[in-house]
Amino acid sequence: AQKITQTQPGMFVQEKEAVTLDCTYDTSDPSYGLFWYKQPSSGEMIFLIYQGSYDQQNATEGRYSLNFQKARKSANLVISASQLGDSAMYFCAMREGSGAGSYQLTFGKGTKLSVIP
Amino acid sequence: DAGITQSPRHKVTETGTPVTLRCHQTENHRYMYWYRQDPGHGLRLIHYSYGVKDTDKGEVSDGYSVSRSKTEDFLLTLESATSSQTSVYFCAISRDRGSKNYGYTFGSGTRLTVV
């Protein structure tokens, strides 16, 4: 079974509108962390936001927020007021556990977001 | 900027030849990783290191070996390159929570083509 599932291969959003990118995860470990990364066409991987499994509040970073629903095992990324520069691939990733082996990240297959002017 | 440098940035090689990719970091991070990125697969872990001479396999380690003789350098070797190893390779380091920029920082990637 996939550990990270991103069900939207591609999405379109109008400039200045909000958009939600879906991510569901599968783990039996009570300690885990969820990350979102942005990959523009230039290819670099840019860290956006992090949510820990024990965090009480949803993470926010500027225009990015993470809608964390632990019981449903979902960690959706919300981008408010989309900009043309938000057009990119977006990856959800998970880090399980807290020991030495927990430093590995498992990635979803990504969602390609296109912002329309 | 974590000071991660990957070399080369691009490489074309022939099937059956050995290839070594280098990852160099300047911040003394303990954990380093090699991932490959292929369309439709996201990023998949090849090998990782948790210290000098301490390495372990990831999800797609077949056909790859790694070495870490110094904290700052993590080498990925394709012993005999195959066309299925044509990919974009990313090196990464990880920081502990509580550190600035918690999480992973990635290098710029190496685009490898095996012909």
Averaged pLDDT for residues A7-33: 95
Residue B15's identity, in one-letter code, is T
> What's the Cα-to-Cα distance from A108 to each of A89, B11, B63, rounded to whole Å?
11, 27, 23
B41 → chain A, closest CA residue: A109
| Contact by Cβ (8 Å): A48, A77 | yes
Give residue B27's pLDDT: 86
Averaged pLDDT for residues A19-41: 95
Give residue A71's pLDDT: 95
Give ∠ CA A64-A59-B27 in degrees, rounded to 5.
Answer: 85
Contact call for B101 and A47, based on CB within 8 A: yes
Identify residues of A whose CB sits under 8 angstroms from chain B CBs: 4, 33, 35, 37, 43-45, 47, 50, 52, 91, 93, 100-101, 103-110
Give residue A3's pLDDT: 92
Q: For B15-46, how does the pLDDT look when each residue is reduced to its tens digit (9 = 90+)?
A: 999 999 999 999 888 889 999 999 888 899 99
Q: For A71-116, how does the pLDDT look when each residue is reduced to its tens digit (9 = 90+)?
A: 999 999 999 999 999 999 999 999 887 655 556 889 999 999 999 9
| Residue B97 structure tokens | 């929570």
Q: For B53-106, how does the pLDDT look when each residue is reduced to its tens digit (9 = 90+)?
A: 999 999 999 999 999 999 999 999 999 999 999 999 999 998 766 555 567 889
Cα B33 from chain centroid (whole Å): 5
Give residue B30's pLDDT: 87
